[in-house]
Chains A and B, each alone.
Chain A
Amino acid sequence: MNKNREIYILFFVLIAFFIVSVVYLSFGWLDIWGEGLGIITAAAITLAMYSFLYKDNPVFKIAENLFVGVAMGYSIIIVWYNILKPDVFEALILPVFKDTGNAPQYSVIVPTLLGLFMFLRLSSKLSWLSRWSFAFIVGMGSGIAIPNFINAILLRQLEPMLTPLYSGSFWGTVNTLLVLIGVVSVLFYFFFSLEHKGPIGGISMVGIWFLMIAFGASFGYTVMARMSLLIGRIQFLLKDWLGIIQ
């Protein structure tokens, strides 16, 4: 009985969507030769995704899987046109076989080989070669991170806390002091080598309060973000698809 009802709902929605599309296209409210068909497709996908709010259903799952496929296909093609084609194919391979006016960049052989070694991770016998590629990237990343993080985060973030507390106004001083207390107490809270008892327990308790205020702020901002995404989609449906708002 319930299943029948859901099938009726699905048919009703599909027919309603079809009628709306035909009406909009025939009245010229959506341009069939321009963006019209695209907007109808986008609206169909948007509604298919929202159908999940009623309950998980095949229409949602089809749209979801289609999206995953298209997104992956898109990334592959973009990597080809933006990285592999200009930096490997045209820089190294093409000039070897054809006079392009540019000499082949032989130094590209190294990253190309290391890049290809990564695929050997899928082979059972030669997967160890992929470790060379990962070691190159991870080692380089680590070496770059150490001095840059010390300079850009540790030193630069500690700097504002090593200035005189009195900043010209009473409330300014209070706030500077609160920031100092907050940073120290939260760091104490995260310092697990000492048992959180006595004075240490008290300081880390203050740290928890600071963290709770910050998490509350983050929650507020997260609500804001998700609602903004929803507003954008409803704007799309009402403005671009149905044209009932300007």
Chain B
Amino acid sequence: MEKLLKIDRRIIFVLVALAVTIPLLFRFKMAVPPTKHVKSMYDKIDSLPKGSHVLISFDYDPSSKEELQPMALALLHHCFKKDIKVIGMTLYPAGTGLAEKAIKETGKEYGKKSGKDYAFLGFKAGSSLVILNMGEDIYSAFQEDFYGKKTAGMLALKGVSSLREIDYAVNLTAGGIYEAWIVYGREKYHFDLGVGCTAVMGPEMYPFIQSNQLTGFMGGLKGAAEYETLIDHKDRAAAGMSPQSVVHVLVVCFILFGNFLYFASGRKQ
């Protein structure tokens, strides 16, 4: 019993690695029924007419790329498929590389052009100050796009002067910035806002959903998988659901077995 409790942690590591690798290799397929919060985001974007403006703020960096990049790609596929104009930006310096690649490569698949069908505005520092500045005048916050082109007169931004004219904004977030988007953006300039967040932050979204301050949210890889299912474009997130399931069961087994040993050994650690 003592030995089992003091097992080399590397054995646990190997089991975790296997629980992820085997389902990926054998490609177990699992249905991912969309939850209402993800469906609300999908419905909102799906209801927008051609030429509407969706702002996506890619507020994450490589450390949460595996959770948020699949969401970004799924959203971009949906927007470009519906001929919606995408305005991309980031409040994280290291978000620029990920955002630029996602917009450019997805746009290419649908024949979309920078400046005409989408605008990637790049990065600005100051988080809440950037949101407030954009709320007053988007061209003041971003006088040039990421590529150095003047934003004034850009076709992709036609009809948009501030956040007030945005048809839907999505904040893909790996930190507390979503709160700034709610407090200084949505509540002050009155636009609809959805959030795509890491799973760690998922529980924090519920109060804002109930108060109607958010039009839905996607939490973690599971949220991305649900969105992929909704747009019928299953990719990495959907493929990740079988290992995610197996590894969750493994962690539950660890907890139960660990507790069994704890109680069986007379509650001695």
Contact = CB atoms under 8 A, between A and B. Distances in A.
> Do any beta carbons of A and B sit within 8 angstroms of each other in the complex?
yes
A154 B65 CA distance: 32
Given A83-B125, A148-B183, A218-B200, A75 B236 contact: no
B34 interface: no
Interface string A141-160: 10010001101110011011
A214 interface: yes
A82 B97 CA distance: 12
Contacts of B129: 140-141
Given A74-B93, A234-B21, A222 B200 contact: yes
Query: Number of contact residues on A: which range applies?
Result: 35 or more
Interface in B39-73: 64-67
A71 interface: yes
A54 B10 contact: yes
Interface stretch (B108-116, B157-165, B213-221, B259-267): B213-221
A231 B244 contact: yes
Label chain A's interface by main secondary structure.
Answer: helix
Contacts of A151: 187
A227 B247 contact: yes
Nearest to B20: A234
A222 B96 contact: no
A156 B213 contact: yes
B81 to A, nearest CB: 23
A225 interface: yes
B94 interface: yes
Contact of B128 (A75, A90, A144): A144
A71 B65 CA distance: 14
Given A82-B122, A153-B183, A221 B202 contact: yes
B200 A225 contact: yes
B184 A224 contact: no
A156 B146 contact: no
Interface of B: 10, 13, 16-17, 20-21, 24-25, 27, 64-67, 93-94, 96-97, 122-125, 128-129, 132, 143-144, 146, 148, 182-184, 186-188, 198-203, 207, 210-211, 213, 219-222, 236, 239-240, 243-244, 247-248, 251
Interface of A: 53-54, 71, 74-75, 78-79, 81-83, 86-87, 90-91, 140-141, 144, 148-149, 151-153, 156-157, 159-160, 179, 214, 217-218, 221-225, 227-235, 238, 244-245
23 contacts: A53-B13, A74-B93, A86-B143, A140-B129, A144-B184, A152-B213, A214-B203, A221-B201, A222-B199, A223-B248, A224-B221, A225-B67, A225-B199, A227-B244, A228-B220, A230-B16, A231-B20, A231-B221, A231-B247, A232-B66, A234-B21, A244-B25, A245-B25
Given A160-B211, A231-B247, A235-B236, 17 more contacts: A53-B13, A79-B123, A82-B93, A82-B96, A82-B124, A149-B183, A152-B183, A224-B222, A224-B244, A225-B200, A228-B66, A229-B64, A230-B20, A232-B66, A233-B66, A235-B239, A238-B25
